Structures are given as structure tokens and as C-alpha cells.
Amino acid sequence: MAARSIASLSLSFGLVSIPVKLYSATESSETIRFNLLTKDGSRVKQQYVSEKDMKTVVPRSEMIKGYEFEKDQYVLFEPEELKALEEDASHVIDIVAFIPEKEVDPLYYDKAYFLAPDKRGGKPYSLLRAAMRESGRCALAKWAWKGKQYVVQVRAAEDGLVLQQLLYANEVRSLEDLDIELTEPTPAELKLALQLIDQISQDSYDPTMFEDEEKKRILAAIDAKIAGQEVVASPHAGGEETSGQVIDLTAALMASLKRSPASATKSPPPAGKTATGNNVSAMGKERKGVRRAPKTEVAEPVAAPAHSRARK
């Protein structure tokens, strides 16, 4: 399915105006949701009630929006007025400076978007991207969107331009507020730590090497529950809890170096008792069954197929 643009904007670069289209760069994966039910299994419904008597149900068609300017004092806005406020927003991304591309701390990163050239924007778009890649700089710009003005970073990627919304300074907390007391490691500890870093270092980041193991674990438990099996807690990877214990740091580092990289990346077993054999999860991958000690001579129920799991 072709990507659908969110908005048509203009990227202002000096006296050059580049028509661009805005696309969302990310999408949230489907979350596992548990519905609220009554004890007899019926769905419950959420309703809005008037605060005056806490009984009168107010339908959405009778709601309006208001801004609280003093305690319990509101100025009311009609839908047309709210729409007018949004339409007054600028459609121009105004570049104000170019800085080294690594100067923005990722701590300030918010939502990311893609920028693609619109009609007659291909040549200046390509020129700006090439110039930023050649100079090693990114652009800082101002952009008004949905009732808020953003500071944004525009950076050149391999295949185009990325617009990154940035948080304001007052939206980011400081580590200084935590009063962290740093200690100086011994040369031996530092050497062992560097060896451990070198042992599990990689030259690049490959996002495809990671997947949501927690989601797989919970879906496996749901499949087990659908099949009528008992869901039990299983220990997570990571070993015993050591919080509050005094440990020998040097000994721990040396033990870490001896530990094989494969054992450090093992996935935790899925929660719940699953049927023997292989299941196919909703994520489209085979899921091996967990061994289970027999309790009785009664055969275990076969796990329900993943497609029977209701998604809402």
C-alpha cells in the first residue's frame, strides 16, 4: 500500500522555497489489549457524565471544548473556531541555521517524519540534500503544526530528507538534578570493562536483529489460555536479583568475559504452559512448545490456532 502524505508544506532555504510532502516516518506496532469485563464476561462501556450531579450521561454530540483560564472558569470554543485556529498555522518550515549534524543530543528527539519533494520541488530538494551531506551539517528550523510551534531538525539521509521534531529545553530534564556521585574506576576495572565492550562490539546498528520478545511471550500465554491451559509465571532472563548486594566488581567483569555471547542473548521462555509441538503465532513465526511435567494420564488439550485469537 502506497504511503499517504500528511500535509503539503514548503521548506524555506534562503530565498529558495522547496515544495515538499510530509509523511510519518514511524508506525506503532499493534499492542496487546485486554478488555474490561464484568464478572460474567460482559463488556463494560465507558461514558461521560456531568460533574454537577455525576449521573447525567453527556453524548459526544452535545460536548464542546473550553479553555480553563481560572479555577472552574472556561472560555468556550465552537468547532468552527477550533478549526480556524488550526488553519492559521504556517505551512512553511523555516530554516534558521545549519549546524554540525552530530550536535543535537538524541535526548531532544521527538517524533520523526519523512520529507519528499512535491511538484517542481525535485531539483532544489536534491540540491539541499547533497549540500548538507557534503558539508556534514543539518538544518535547524521552525515549524507551526496543530497549535504548537516546533523546533525541528532537517537532516540528509541516504534516500532523502528526515524532519525530526525536537523538544524544547524546558521539556528535557537534566541529569544534574539527580545529584549522581561518580567514582573513579581502578585501572584494572577499566581494562576489564574495555575488554568486555570490545568482545560484544558491532560496527553498525541493524534494527532487524531485534524483535519484541515480551509481545511474543504474552501472545504465547494467550494461546495457552485459549487452549484451556493454566498460565503460570516464568523466570525472566537476567539471573538473580542483586539489588542491594555488595559484589566484587572485578570478579563480575571477569565472569562476564568468560560468558559466551550466545548465552547472553538467549530469549526468555514464553509464559504459560503450551502444548507439545509447534504452534504458529500471530506474528507468523513458529513457536516451540515448552516441556511440561505430566501431572495425570489425561492428554493435554491441543493449542488453539493463532487465528482464533480475537483482535480488537
- List the CATH number of the domain containing 162: 2.40.290.10
Domain check: are 110 and 223 in the same one? Answer: no
Range of the domain at 140: 7-28+86-171
- Cα separation, 288 vs 220, in Å, equals 10
Domain check: are 11 and 151 in the same one? Answer: yes
Domain check: are 19 and 122 in the same one? Answer: yes
pLDDT at 286: 41
Of 292, 295, 312, 284, nearest to 224 by C-alpha is 292
In a domain, 66, yes or no: no
What's the predicted TM-score (pTM) here? 0.66
Q: What are phi and psi of 88, to 5 degrees?
A: -75, -10
pLDDT at 297: 42
In a domain, 256, yes or no: yes
In a domain, 240, yes or no: no
pLDDT, tens digit, for every residue of 203-261? 988 888 888 888 888 888 889 888 888 887 776 555 455 555 556 878 887 888 887 56
Domain check: are 263 and 300 in the same one? Answer: yes
3-state secondary structure of 100: strand
**What is the percentage of the chain residues whose pLDDT exceeds 70?**
77
Domain check: are 157 and 227 in the same one? Answer: no
In a domain, 244, yes or no: no
Domain check: are 112 and 167 in the same one? Answer: yes
pLDDT at 245: 58
Number of domains comprising the chain: 2
Domain check: are 16 and 142 in the same one? Answer: yes
Mean pLDDT, range 1-30, rounded to an integer: 86
In a domain, 105, yes or no: yes
pLDDT, tens digit, for every residue of 178-203? 999 999 999 999 999 999 899 888 89
In a domain, 71, yes or no: no
In a domain, 44, yes or no: no
pLDDT, tens digit, for every residue of 82-139? 887 776 667 899 999 999 989 999 999 999 999 999 998 999 999 999 999 999 999 9
Domain check: are 14 and 92 in the same one? Answer: yes
In a domain, 80, yes or no: no
Q: Mean pLDDT in the chain?
A: 80
Q: What's 203-223 look like in SS3?
A: CCCCHHHCCCHHHHHHHHHHH
